[in-house]
């Protein structure tokens, strides 16, 4: 194992997927340290540090006692190039692999078999304009595109972008998620229903199961 195959990890744990098209499924979560953005609603921004693990050590931790899908999240996993090797190694072991990314870094090198959850940051996130539009070329019907909505202005912006960029031609998994502490799910539901788009409202069920301080996954 060479040094380029070492990843800085904040935590590895097993839980229920709290959001997106795979909500409710048991998964192993690998939270990679560090992020290049600074969103106003971030609940993992302190996760800049953590121990280093080899790819083999990570795979061992997500292989016992159960074999669940592996969800690689952050922070921003693609900040560390070694995340790409982790994905390849897990896929070569016939594992189901998911990657959550903030959409600002190039997806070109991500193994196509990985299932992606890709954010498009709204103006209200504090990281508006960070999305790399060329990443749309790598979105497939298996992937999620996610908007975290902080206000009605954010919602209207997300609807405009959905139409302008024809996002529903990329994937049916278009996730509109209320930013925790910013808007209520009921408000988002009231905005979605008359908008005519077949988007999905996702409400971070892990925070409802275990409490509002539970970190996003």
Q: Using CB under 6 A as the criterion, which residues of the chain lie in contact with ligand SF4 when the complex forms?
A: 35, 37-39, 42, 44-45, 74-76, 102, 127
Measured from the CB atom, the residue of 45 and 205 that comes closer to ligand SF4 is 45
d(CA 75, CA 35): 4
Measured from the CB atom, the residue of 76 and 144 that comes closer to ligand SF4 is 76
CB of 37 vs ligand SF4, minimal distance in Å: 4
Measured from the CB atom, the residue of 43 and 54 that comes closer to ligand SF4 is 43
CB of 151 vs ligand SF4, minimal distance in Å: 16
CB of 35 vs ligand SF4, minimal distance in Å: 3
Measured from the CB atom, the residue of 9 and 42 that comes closer to ligand SF4 is 42
């Amino acid at each position: 194992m060479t040094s380029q195959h070492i990843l800085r990890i904040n935590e590895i744990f097993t839980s229920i997927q709290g959001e997106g098209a795979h909500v409710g499924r048991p998964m192993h979560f690998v939270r990679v340290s560090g992020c290049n953005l600074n969103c106003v609603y971030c609940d993992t921004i302190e996760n800049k540090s953590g121990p280093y693990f080899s790819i083999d050590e990570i795979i061992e931790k997500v292989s016992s006692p159960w074999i669940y899908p592996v969800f690689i999240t952050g922070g921003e996993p693609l900040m560390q190039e070694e995340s790409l090797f982790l994905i390849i190694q897990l896929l070569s072991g016939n594992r189901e692999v998911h990657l959550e990314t903030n959409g600002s870094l190039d997806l070109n090198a991500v193994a196509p078999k990985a299932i992606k959850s890709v954010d498009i940051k709204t103006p209200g996130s504090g990281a508006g304009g960070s999305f790399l539009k060329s990443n749309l070329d790598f979105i497939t019907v298996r992937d999620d595109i996610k908007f975290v909505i902080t206000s009605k202005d954010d919602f209207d912006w997300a609807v405009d972008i959905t139409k302008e960029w024809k996002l529903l031609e990329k994937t049916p998994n278009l996730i509109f998620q209320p930013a925790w502490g910013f808007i209520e799910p009921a408000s988002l539901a009231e905005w979605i229903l008359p908008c005519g788009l077949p988007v999905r409202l996702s409400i971070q069920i892990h925070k409802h199961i275990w409490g509002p301080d539970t970190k996003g996954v």
